Structure 1
Amino acid sequence: METDKQQKDKQQLYTDKFFESGHWLLKIRQVLIATIGWLAVIIPIVITVLAFWASFDPRVPHLWAYHEGIYEIKFIGIILIFAWVMTLIFAVSMTIIQNRKRDRIVEQWPTFNPINQKERKKTIDDFIDKRFGPKEFRENVRSYTVKPEQNLETHQIQELYAKKDLDDVD
């Protein structure tokens, strides 16, 4: 069970009055606006689909039957199908290319030198132990303040590897 101090220490990242108790006018207004927004999307789609469907099936009520509108719906459908086919061709071809590249390059040899890997780990562990204290201390301390002189330089780890000739990047 959390103590009062732990509850006070938690930071509320955001609030939303819609989900709080009360605020009924806000809830009614936002639900009304969301409903109107969805209707503004759904109604034109339903009308368009029904009109297109009615041009093929006389049992469907004719909301409008302008031949130009039906022609445009067919034209947009053809454009969308063409775009979908082009996207499918691109996605499949890029997948094939990347899989072949992975098979040729990545799986033939590792991207790092496995012989140097243990030595790199030992080198970085020694460096961190010397700079920040033993591992047991670092893992069990409750709070630790890094002194300004303990901050790492931009390329200090790379330079450490280069000095011990463990730099895999040539």
Structure 2
Amino acid sequence: MEKKNNQERQQLYTDKYFEKGHLLLKIRQFLISIVGWLAVIIPILITITSFWASFDNRIPHIWSYHEGIYEIKFIGILLIFLWIMTTIFSISMTLIQNRKRDRVVEQWPTFNPINQKKRKQTIDNFIDQRFGNQEFRENVKTYDVQPEQNLDTHQIQKLYAQNNLDEINKE
């Protein structure tokens, strides 16, 4: 039992940043992250300030190219249009899925629960015959499957059909 607990507690990864020491690594990674955030924030601030300055003369003009202002307006309109389309799609898909769930999923089960138990028992017996009992399969460390033990295509469906448990083909 103690061995099992040790395996559960085993750390599967290491990161020198969170270990004691490695001060230069921590400083270097901190500086790199600050530079990365500045590379994201500064262009956004410049763009917002420049766009705002085109409407308010009190704001300093970092750049005032008319093409740039036009592009920002175009992207803004495009993003608003895409947000509206995404909202319409999300709401309509939610309504469709809720309606489908109410009509199909929450009705009586779409499978025969009695046959489902028989199917489980049939497949359990088949697997026990083919690969050994469940206790053996769960406790063995390695198991080599012999070529004759491989499952044929549609073998499970054929097994269900032999036992009259094939609900799909019944009409």
Alignment of 1:1-170 (within 5 A): 2=2, 7=6, 12-108=11-107, 110-128=109-127, 132-133=132-133, 138=135, 143-144=139-140, 146=143, 148=145, 153-154=151-152, 155-170=154-169
Give the match's secondary structure for 1:26. Answer: helix
Give the match's secondary structure for 1:64. Answer: coil
Query: Which range is displaced more, 66-75 or 103-112?
Result: 103-112
| Counterpart Cα distance in 1 of 2:8 and 2:113 | 45
> 1:69-122 CA deviation, whole Å, 9 max, x = no partner?
222211110011111112222222222333333344444553322231232233
Which residue type is aligned with residue 25 of structure 2?
L
Query: Which range is displaced more, 68-77 or 120-129?
Result: 120-129
| Counterpart Cα distance in 1 of 2:2 and 2:115 | 47
| Counterpart Cα distance in 2 of 1:66 and 1:8 | 63
How many residues end up aligned between the 2 structures? 165
Give the match's secondary structure for 2:21. Answer: coil
1:147: Cα distance to partner?
6.1
**Unaligned ranges ≥5, structure 1:** none
Identity over the aligned pairs, expressed in percent? 65
1:125: Cα distance to partner?
4.1
Which residue type is aligned with residue 44 of structure 1?
P
